[in-house]
Structure 1
Amino acid sequence: MRILYAPLFFFGFIAAALALATRPLWLLPLLASAVLLSFTCEWLIPYKTAWNQTQGEGRRDLCHALVNECLTLSSVASIPLLANCLPATDLWPVHWPLALQLLLAIVVADLGITLVHYASHRSPLLWRLHAVHHSVTRLYGFNGLLKHPVHQLLETLGGTLPLLVLGLPVEVATLLAFSVSIQLLLQHGNVDMRIGGLRHVFAWAPVHRLHHLKYGTTGDVNFALFFPLWDRLLGTVLYLPGYALADDDMGIGDRPDYPQAYLAQLREPWVSGDAQPPALLPAALRQALAERA
């Protein structure tokens, strides 16, 4: 189950979405079933049992999920309007099979989203928006939807604007939005998935967890949403097979007091938070990084 979970989850739900492409409203219950399956497996085969202990963030997470998913749906619905504002190129390969069109959309969007994500760890202003996502101290399925809506908008623009210029059809955009949600569940889920060599192909949780390390710039790695290829090109790929993450490795080391309430998190990028000294690297992590170097 641990070996099959990630590939079956990813390809199974995306294949189901492709089969339902002519009935897009069915994608909503399909996504709900993916969330339910993800949460169930977090309890059956958790990566960290301690990460299953809630910290009273349920209402906040629900607010983030509802707001950001509504933004996604609004973005998809506005594609015909946006298309009228952009120059018509007719470059999109509408004659391709739908599955190949979706793959092309994922590759292009992934590059744009990854570059915005990378920039968010370099620009102080973008980091203040992105820090909301990194404020969690345990990883679980809903983490992927925990984003400041302004940063969500920037990532969406980075990923979809090139596609809109190419003439992305609404049908493919809907499937792309669904695929992103599935990938976010796999990236942040507290499931003990064993992906082996697939870590070179897909940025699932065993790859992405290192990005949430709280120790200064140590987590400035593994930025890709779908494909680690982009991190190889950026020189930011990291894999530490000899290091077992501790229960308290996640978060923002110099902001252990980061606000946890929803409205407070929306305000935080616009106020001056007082950074504390960065968290010190644990000896085991320092050794793992030294061995890799």
Structure 2
Amino acid sequence: MRTLVRYGYVPFMLLVVDGAAIALAAGGHPKLWLLGLLFVAVGASFAAERVLPYRDDWNVPHGDDRRDVAHAVVNETLTLAGLAVLPALTAVASIDGIWPGSLPFAVQVLIAVLVADLGITLVHLASHKVPALWRLHAVHHSVKRAYGFNGLMKHPLHQTLETAAGVAPLVLLGMPSAVASVLALCVAVQLLLQHSNVDYRVGPLRAVLALNQAHRFHHLKWAGAGDVNFGLFTLLWDHCLGTYSYDPERRFRSDDLGMAAKPHYPDGYLAQLAEPFRPSGACTTKNISN
């Protein structure tokens, strides 16, 4: 079972779960099926973390489980709300005849993933450089353990900014709502994989796909050390930007994560929503740390 998880977990999530979403959306099935697939992905993530954990202690709640569920519910609800208004936005803002609707549906989804990945990567990078953005993004970097739900733990305003950067170009291009729905599921699955406490292997693809082996370096708590591997779906843009980093010998523990400049960042959900707007939520370029 451990070997199956080590080499089969990522293919299951990317090929089976995401593939099923593409097939269902292409066939015109109700979008509620995609919500069911999200629950399958979350269940698979938690199961894999128990079968083959990267660290056993990261499976134990640190008083953060309810907070992380709250972040996940709120942020996924915002995603669903965005999908609901997307057709209206596309009707108003899109440029007719640009979207490559004649291509196979799976190719359209791949195009959406790559375009969104660039926009999200750039906002993510800016969030490590611009103090006003870091105030919001710091919520995500306050974690002291890496497990699946960490990926959905974001300040809702920061998630809105990242989503807007990734989706706005696609809206202008006239992305169909069916493609947008699959993209939303792919984002959720990717966040689960990227922060997963699973000791899986993907071979040379670890330098291409933005998965947990590379993303742990992004959560190093020291200023500058974590300013790497910003991609959501791929590391292609990191290679282009010179922000890719990986050391196969490096092992991580809780003491490596969080923010060295803010070791006592608030833990509660409501406190984390408010912290970016308090004086204590301020930071300078000298103490932005990951």
Give the TM-score of the pair, scaled to structure 2.
Answer: 0.93
Q: How does 1:26-41 map to 2 (within 5 A)?
A: 26-41=33-48
Instruction: Tell me the amino acid that sits aligned with residue 197 of structure 2.
Output: N
Q: Secondary structure at the match of 2:228?
A: coil
> Match of 2:17?
13
Mean Cα deviation higher: 217-226 or 6-15? 6-15
- 1:210 is aligned with what amino acid? F
Q: Verify the 8 A CA contact 2:134 2:288 in the aligned structure 1.
A: no
- Residue 88 of structure 1 aligns to a residue in which SS? coil
Give the drift of 1:249. Answer: 1.0
In structure 2, the residue matched to 1:163 is: 170
TM-superposition CA deviations, 1:29-84 (whole Å, max 9, x none): 11101101100110110001111110121221111111100111111111121123
Match of 1:3 in 2: 7
Q: Percent identity?
A: 52
Alpha-carbon distance in structure 1 between the residues aligned to 2:150 and 2:288: 22
Contact kept, 8 Å, 1:76 with 1:174, in 2: the verdict is: yes
Cα displacement (A) at 1:279: 12
- Deviation of 1:116 (Å): 0.4
1:34-73 equivalences in 2 (<5 Å): 34-73=41-80
Structure 1's consecutive aligned runs of 4 or more residues displaced over 3 angstroms after TM superposition are: 277-280
In the alignment, is residue 190 of structure 1 matched against residue 197 of structure 2?
A: yes
Match of 1:289 in 2: none
> 2:186 is matched with which residue: 176, 179, 189?
179
1:200 shift after superposition: 2.0
The residue number in structure 2 matching 1:120 is 127
Q: Is the 8 A contact 2:94 2:171 kept in 1?
A: no
Query: Which residue, out of 93, 106, 116, partners 1:109?
Result: 116
Q: Number of aligned pairs?
A: 280
Partner of 2:254: 247
Partner of residue 235, structure 1: 242
- CA shift, 1:139, in A, is 0.4
Closer/same/farther in 2, CA of residues 18 and 84 from structure 1, 3 Å limit: closer
Query: Which residues of 2 match residues 137-156 of structure 1 at below 5 A?
Result: 137-156=144-163
Contact 2:10 2:200 in 1 (8 A): yes
3-state SS of the aligned residue for 1:253? coil
CA distance in 2 between partners of 1:244 and 1:61 (Å): 24
Which whole-Å CA distance do the structure 1 matches of 2:257 and 2:121 have between them? 20
* Distance in 1 separating the partners of 2:269 and 2:152: 13
Relative distance call for 1:278 and 1:114 in structure 2 (3 A) is closer
Whether the aligned pair in 2 keeps the contact of 1:48 and 1:247 (CA below 8 Å) is no
**Structure 1 CA distance, aligned partners of 2:288 and 2:208?**
31
Deviates more, 1:145-154 or 1:194-203: 194-203
5+ residue gaps in structure 2? Answer: none
Q: Deviations over 1:14-35 (max 9, x none)?
A: 1111121122211111110110
Question: In angstroms, what is the RMSD of aligned CA positions?
Answer: 1.8
User: Paired residue for 2:211, among 204, 212, 233?
Assistant: 204
Q: Offset at 1:8?
A: 2.6
Please tell me whether the aligned partners of residues 253 and 279 of structure 1 are also in contact (alpha carbons under 8 angstroms). no
CA contact 2:128–2:288 (8 Å) conserved in 1: no
Q: Letter of the aligned partner of 1:62 in structure 2?
A: V
Give 1:80's match in structure 2, choosing from 65, 87, 110. 87
Aligned with 1:216: secondary structure? coil
1:225-261 per-position Cα deviation (integer Å, ceiling 9, x unaligned): 0111100111000001121113321111111110010
The answer to whether the 8 A contact 2:94-2:173 is kept is no
For 2:99, the equivalent position in structure 1 comes to 92
Letter paired with 1:81:
A
Cα separation, 2, equivalents of 1:141 and 1:97: 31
1:184-205 Cα offsets, whole Å, 9 max, x none, are 0100010011122011221110
Gapped regions of structure 1 (runs ≥ 5): 281-293
